[in-house]
Copies of this chain bind each other. A is one copy, B any other.
Amino acid sequence: MRSLPVIHRHGTTKRYSDSTAHQGTVYLVEVPSLEGGDIRAQTSNLLANVDARLAEAGTDRHHLLLVQVFLTSMDDYEGFNAVWDHWVPEGTAPARACVQVSALAKPGWRVEVIVTAAVPA
């Protein structure tokens, strides 16, 4: 018999979990808690949410592996980076993709991120 995989979830609803972790890797998706505000306000809010999700999973922003950034406008690229560059601890930046999509699930959202990070195994 092969061993069954153990998945650690947080904030699980019918539709999604706030995070899932398995064998030393955690996955989470974040959107802003607010629908208004400019890109800096939304990014600050979203990255604070990421910090909270990482803490729940037993890790932190020093252990990012891959971050995918979805913006609704590349006009927000500089504003996102201004907050991001300050948030990422020096020497620990993850691989990062950034693309502009046509829309996110709520009209007021300007940014959504997918985070893959390392957690103690």
The chain A residues found within 8 Å of chain B, CB to CB, are 2-5, 7, 9, 12-20, 22-25, 27-29, 58-59, 63-66, 68, 70, 74, 77, 81, 84-85, 88, 90-105, 112, 114, 116, 118-121
Beta-carbon contact of A93 and B17 below 8 Å: yes
Q: How far is the CA of A112 from the CA of B94 in the complex (A)?
A: 16
Nearest 10 CB-CB pairings of A with B: A5-B118, A2-B120, A100-B103, A16-B96, A27-B66, A99-B101, A100-B102, A29-B97, A27-B95, A20-B65
Beta-carbon contact of B27 and A93 below 8 Å: no
Copies of this chain present in the complex amount to 3
Q: Which residue of the partner chain B has the closest CB to A119?
A: B5
